[in-house]
Amino acid sequence: MSEFQTTGCPELVREMVLRYVERIIPLPDKPEETIESVIRALWLCSAGIPASAGRAARLPLPALTEAQQKTLAGLLEQRAHGTPLAHLTGRQQFMGLEFLCNSKALIPRKETEILGYAAFALLDEKILPSTLAPQVLDLCTGSGNLACAIAGRVPSAILYAADLSPEAVALALANAHQLGCADRVRGFTGDLFGPFAAEPYHRFFDLIVCNPPYITSAKLPSLNPEIFAHEPGMAFDAGPFGLAILSRLIQDAPRFLKPGGWLVFESGLGQGQGLLRRVSKDIQYVNTQGLKDDKGNVRVIACQCRPQDNA
């Protein structure tokens, strides 16, 4: 058979689901990746239509040529052996946007949307009423998913996307270009606040967002091989206690925030309550709050830089 006969081919999708249901085990941090959505995404990719699992679930499936069928078979085998879907399709959905994705940066996760929506709320309710053109810093930007999502939400915002990895910064800027916000997303390479050490950036930002590494070094080898073998270690490794980056972020952010500006960041599972207590006691901040996931775990901390001068 040189090509499948009908667009959609639900019978063949069902056959593939049964064939791969025990070989492709989606990770819990990517709930959009069901067996069927994975197969649909790889099918579309084989047809030259790159799509994330989320987008693939809504698109019709085209007929495949014999060569495309062989491509699909190869992609399914790669996925069954642990290659992340986002690396096979080159796409990942985040906050309704379709992002370019590769092995040089962390694959955006659904859980980070809690951080994204917290940033949206702060911009809408606290920041935009006082400034029409907010300056927003996205540290540990990775693929630029937070920076681009915020740029899309607030057309007047200027985003500063920074990462230790130059490859990640290049990917973030590529995403800004393909999402139509490249004129407002600026890339910086360096260690956390390193690119902003110059005086003009002191007390400059209205909002700082960060999805930092927060896994202990000792736990890295025990991560699922799909994560450990395919995503950059620097996106996860946060030192012996998992707090190396978070501690620096909390300590140093007030130097770069405007008085009254906001810091919002993601924390690891099990870290949230302790970090919430820690930031609540820090005299540099006021109005500290924790945001929970649907299981009641604090995963995001939002805090306001004390409004008076913070030397």
Instruction: Give the CA angle between residues 163, 169, 173 to the nearest 5°.
Output: 140
pLDDT in tens, 74-117: 999 999 999 999 999 999 999 999 999 999 999 999 999 999 99
Residues 6+ apart with CB under 8 A from 62: 7, 44, 47, 49
C-alpha 73: how far from its chain's center?
29
Predicted local distance difference test score (pLDDT) of residue 218: 86
Please give the single-letter amino acid code of residue 143: S
Domain ranges of the chain: 10-89, 110-305
Q: In this structure, what token pair is assigned to residue 302?
A: 């939002």
CATH of 110-305, one of 3.60.15.10, 3.40.50.150, 3.40.50.300, 1.20.1250.20: 3.40.50.150
The dihedral built from the CA positions of residue 44, 50, 53 and 58, taken in this order, carries a sign that is negative
Please give the single-letter amino acid code of residue 148: C
Predicted local distance difference test score (pLDDT) of residue 309: 53
pLDDT in tens, 179-206: 999 999 999 999 999 999 999 999 999 9
Q: In this structure, what token pair is assigned to residue 148?
A: 């681009």
* pTM for this predicted structure: 0.92
Predicted local distance difference test score (pLDDT) of residue 5: 37
**What is the phi/psi pair of residue 295, to 5°?**
-105, 5
List the one residue out of 21, 119, 5 whose CA is nearest residue 61. 5
Predicted local distance difference test score (pLDDT) of residue 12: 74
pLDDT in tens, 6-27: 344 567 777 888 888 888 888 8
> Among 4-13, 164-173, 224-233, whose mean pLDDT is lowest?
4-13
Please give the single-letter amino acid code of residue 140: C
